[in-house]
């Protein structure tokens, strides 16, 4: 099999089974470093790979799962030395068979900040060293991850230092989250956005337990996007003697996966060549690829995945515009004040937080990175990175854990050319302001024309339609009263004719007028009825939040009026 044909075949791909299980059966001692066997016992290692190839495996994972600088420290061997030797063992085993060799990249063994002490940049450098050392592999597999931040570091290292295909896999617990709380949907949105070529689930559980999560994973990506699984041989026995299901039972429990039209399947802990051989029969005749389905527009942190389907509240308070106290906090690096604004908005009911740090006299790129990291240590809501500064956006996007929104681009070609590639690289959704060098046009149709250009440019940059948001721009009623309705008309047209999501900074409508909440709430209601998806507003406004809850009752989005009653 040629690696260039990996995702175009009309036949599923069979992955190998457990390496640790085979090594333990051959006498590997508890606590020993299995990666060193490529140097001390190369023939034994090659023999294990060969058994999996003979069982029908199309891809064998090289014995590099723990070949990081952190795990090899004190071993007397370098990352490059161990990985080179491990790839050589696998390459000898597949010679003449057409099977591919994967560089197997496992967790580093330390939690990243803020949950742990390992810095994101240090994790990236560890993975970068592994990827460069594994250049002779056919594919890169990032597997058994429990921390979405670590997945991001590994995928970025692979994308920026290699052209090999990337398969990314996380390990979920019975409750449907990883050890660190990451959801299936957050993993799918983030890994796909970062450029993984396939995503999957491996380890922790057996086929029966993983199946519902694998189904959710397949539903969270387009039908053409490859999904794979590598379950354990059931669950560990209480006496520590191995796993609780036989190869035959494993094969039986894998049969429901045929309906998912997987790209690939194999085995993890407890599985052997016999398990893999039986999988060949299970998936005989199966073809990868699922029917297309409408894609949800999701914005996520690891633990919170927001499906933007109808009105969603974006908290506006982390923004220095017109706020002297906030500007002072940014200049004095007062993170406590910033975090207080975040927490108060979460408590008030915000679903996403807008983050703007563009105050006079500050280093915006450095501050954006610092604030994003600080917010992620305190709140779990997804973020909207709000800036026109390309470097500030990139600094924030790089350290953001999950899938954010970038606010914003506009209709000017030079802006689109600068910002859209960043959104594509980091898997972010994007807000397009319906404005260009001519300014905000008074007529709705002229703003829609700008929005159409933005949509076309975003699609051309590889950003999917569900990740395109258009802001038709809220004018100030005190100054441009005759043009207020044009915003609502343009929003409705963008929603119905362009098929994009919509966003507005609602409170702008009332600048300069008394009793602002009356105007804000009425305008918000008009915009919601016209199809507004994201409302950038103050969630601490009881009247505006009441309008959101009431609206969701009236359009039957709040079953039994539960949230309204609360």
pLDDT at 1: 78
Q: Is residue 32 very low, low, confident or very high in pLDDT (cuts 50, 70, 90)?
A: confident
Looking up tokens 């900040």, which residue turns up? 113
Task: State the distance between the two ends of the chain, measured CA to CA, in whole angstroms.
Answer: 58
Query: Assign residue 61 a region: left if phi > 0, alpha if psi is -120 to 50, beta otherwise?
Result: beta
Whether the pLDDT of residue 447 is over 80: the answer is yes
Rounded to whole angstroms, the Cα distance separating 252 from 247 reads 9
Confidence of residue 260 (pLDDT cuts 50, 70, 90): very high
Query: Is the confidence at residue 493, as pLDDT, over 90?
Result: yes
pLDDT in tens, 324-344: 999 999 999 999 999 999 999
Span 41-59, pLDDT tens digits: 999 999 999 999 999 999 9
Res 553: pLDDT: 97
Q: Tabulate helix, strand, coil % of the chain (nearest 5).
A: 45, 15, 40
pLDDT score for 3: 82
Report whether 181 contacts 22 (CB < 8 A).
Answer: no
Predicted pLDDT at 529: 97
Average pLDDT rounded to a whole number, residues 155-181: 97
Give the pair of three-digit tokens for residue 531. Answer: 């199809």
Cα–Cα distance measured from residue 132 to residue 145, given in angstroms and rounded to the nearest whole number = 20
* Cα gap 268→485, rounded to integer Å: 59
List, for residues 265-307, the tens digit of each pLDDT value.
999 999 999 999 999 999 998 999 999 999 999 999 999 999 9
- Is the pLDDT score of 30 beyond 80? no
Give 414's contacts (C-beta < 8 A, 6+ positions apart): none
- Beta bridge partners of residue 405, listed in sequence order: 384, 429
Q: What does the alpha-carbon distance between residue 82 and residue 101 come to, in Å, rounded to a whole number?
A: 15
In this predicted structure, the answer to whether residue 155 has a pLDDT above a threshold of 80 is yes
Helix (H) or strand (E) holding 342: helix 335-348
| pLDDT value at residue 399 | 98
Convert the pLDDT of each residue in 97-115 to its tens digit: 999 999 999 999 999 999 9
Those residues with Cβ within 8 angstroms of residue 503's Cβ, 6 or more apart along the chain or in another chain:
314, 407, 431, 469, 470, 471, 532, 533, 534, 535, 536
Phi-psi region of 271 (alpha: psi -120 to 50; beta: other; left: phi over 0): beta
Render pLDDT for 187-241 as a digit per residue (tens, 0 to 9): 999 999 999 999 999 999 999 999 999 999 999 999 999 999 999 999 888 887 7
Residue 354: the pLDDT is 98
CA 178, distance to chain mean position in Å, is 14
Q: Which residues contact 187 (CB under 8 A, 6 or more apart)?
A: 148, 151, 170, 178, 199, 217
Dihedral sign for Cα atoms in the order 14, 19, 24, 27: positive
Q: What is the mean pLDDT of the chain?
A: 96
């Amino acid at each position: 099999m040629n690696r260039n044909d990996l995702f175009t075949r009309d036949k599923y791909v069979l992955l190998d089974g457990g390496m640790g299980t085979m090594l333990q059966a051959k006498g590997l001692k508890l606590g020993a470093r299995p990666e060193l066997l490529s140097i001390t016992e190369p023939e034994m290692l090659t023999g294990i790979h060969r058994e999996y190839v003979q069982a029908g495996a199309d891809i064998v994972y090289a014995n590099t799962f723990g070949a990081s600088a952190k795990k090899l420290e004190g071993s007397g061997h370098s990352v490059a030395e161990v990985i080179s030797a491990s790839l050589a063992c696998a390459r000898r085993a597949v010679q003449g068979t057409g099977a591919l060799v994967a560089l197997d990249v496992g967790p580093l063994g330390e939690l990243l900040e803020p949950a742990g002490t390992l810095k994101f940049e240090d994790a990236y450098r560890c993975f970068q060293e592994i990827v460069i050392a594994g250049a002779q592999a056919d594919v890169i597999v990032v597997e058994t991850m429990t921390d979405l931040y670590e997945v991001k570091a590994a995928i970025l290292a692979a994308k920026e230092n290699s052209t090999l295909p990337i398969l990314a896999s996380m390990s979920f617990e019975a409750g449907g989250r990883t050890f660190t709380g990451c959801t299936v949907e957050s993993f799918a949105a983030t890994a796909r956005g970062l450029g993984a070529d396939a995503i999957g689930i491996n380890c922790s559980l057996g086929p029966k337990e993983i199946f519902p999560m694998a189904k959710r994973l397949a539903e969270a990506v387009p039908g053409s996007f490859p999904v794979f699984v590598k379950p354990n041989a059931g669950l560990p026995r209480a006496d520590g003697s191995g796993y609780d299901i036989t190869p035959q039972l494993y094969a039986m429990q894998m049969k429901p996966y045929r309906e998912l039209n997987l790209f690939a399947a194999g085995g993890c802990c407890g599985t052997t060549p016999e398990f893999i051989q039986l999988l060949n029969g299970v998936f005989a005749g199966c073809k990868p690829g699922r029917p297309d389905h409408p894609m949800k527009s999701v914005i996520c942190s690891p633990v919170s995945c927001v499906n933007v389907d109808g009105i969603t509240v974006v908290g506006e308070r982390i923004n220095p515009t017109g706020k002297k106290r906030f500007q002072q906090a940014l200049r004095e690096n007062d993170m406590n004040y910033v975090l207080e604004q975040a927490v108060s908005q979460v408590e008030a009911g915000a679903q996403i937080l807008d983050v703007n740090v563009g105050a006079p006299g500050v280093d915006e790129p450095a501050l954006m990175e610092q604030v994003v990291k600080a917010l992620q240590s305190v709140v779990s809501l997804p973020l909207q990175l709000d800036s026109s500064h390309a470097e500030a956006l990139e600094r924030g996007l790089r350290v953001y854990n999950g899938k954010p929104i970038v606010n914003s681009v506009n209709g000017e070609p030079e802006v689109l050319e600068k910002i859209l590639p960043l959104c594509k690289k980091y898997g972010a959704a994007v807000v397009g302001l319906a404005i260009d060098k001519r300014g905000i046009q008074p007529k709705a149709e002229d703003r829609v024309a700008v929005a159409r250009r933005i949509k076309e440019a975003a699609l051309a940059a590889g950003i999917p339609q569900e990740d395109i948001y258009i802001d038709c721009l809220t004018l100030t009623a005190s100054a441009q009263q005759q043009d207020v309705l044009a915003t609502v008309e343009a929003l409705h047209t963008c929603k119905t004719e362009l098929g994009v999501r919509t966003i507005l900074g609602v409170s702008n409508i009332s600048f300069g007028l008394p009793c602002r909440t009356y105007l804000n709430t009425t305008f918000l209601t008009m915009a919601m009825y016209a199809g507004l998806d994201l409302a950038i507003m103050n969630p601490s406004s009881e009247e505006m939040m009441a309008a959101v809850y009431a609206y969701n009752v009236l359009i039957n989005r709040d079953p039994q009026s539960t949230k309204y009653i609360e």
